[in-house]
A = this chain, B = another copy of it.
Amino acid sequence: MPESERIEISREQIRNMEKIDRLKLINSTPGYKSVNLIGTTDPSGNFNLAIFSSVIHLGSNPPLLGMISRPITVERHSFDNIIETGVYTINHVHTEIIDSAHQTSAKYSRETSEFKATGLTPVLMHGFKAPFVEESSIRIAMSLVERQEIRSNGTHLLVGEIQFISAPKNIVREDGSFDLSAAGTVAMSGVDTYLACRELSRKGYARIRKG
């Protein structure tokens, strides 16, 4: 990397930024984020679909994934549905559904199904109550097992356990893991940028090098 001139951004400069500029900057600081469609159902059976860029791995035994939900000061359909029903689905966004996936972030009313509004297709699988996205390659059924409030900003960490996974056979590697770039799964940076990823290298377990 050729060394370029550097800038420093202080805590005070961050505090004094305009809200949208700060959102865009701070969201780009951790590096790339996963981007998933979260499918839920309300107690009356209405389907909801929303895009989240905060799904993370928490542990593999038991298989736990986390997700950050914004403060509950405004209406949060997905969050309410997860708390009320205890189940949700995680559906990977791939290159061919970016537009529809992004469109789910528009502020539809509680009665509007984002599936209908964006053209994505809900599909029910194995009697699981929450809807999956038929267009998604990798789909995961989740049960809520824990909820933690992050006191510093009123955000919630939802902890879910994987109930089952559905994936195209041709993206499963020999060791059983998923080849996300073959699946067309995209990454997000900041609040608005979708990216395709290309494998550079696979590493073995790192050992201490002699001499």
Each complex incorporates copies of this chain amounting to: 2
The count of chain A contact residues (Cβ–Cβ below 8 Å) is 116
Q: Give the residues in chain B near A35, CB-CB below 8 Å.
A: 31
Q: Which residues of A contact B (CB under 8 A)?
A: 1, 3-11, 14-15, 17, 19, 21-36, 53-66, 68, 90, 92-96, 98, 102-108, 117, 126, 135, 137-138, 140, 145-146, 148, 150-153, 155, 157, 159, 161-172, 175-178, 180-181, 184-187, 189-190, 192-204, 206-209
- Report 22 cross-chain contacts, Cβ distance below 8 Å, ordered by A residue: A6-B167, A15-B62, A24-B176, A27-B60, A28-B177, A29-B178, A30-B34, A30-B55, A31-B92, A31-B187, A32-B32, A32-B33, A32-B34, A33-B57, A54-B56, A59-B152, A64-B152, A103-B206, A145-B152, A150-B159, A194-B199, A198-B198
Q: Is the interface of A mostly helix, strand, loop or mixed?
A: mixed
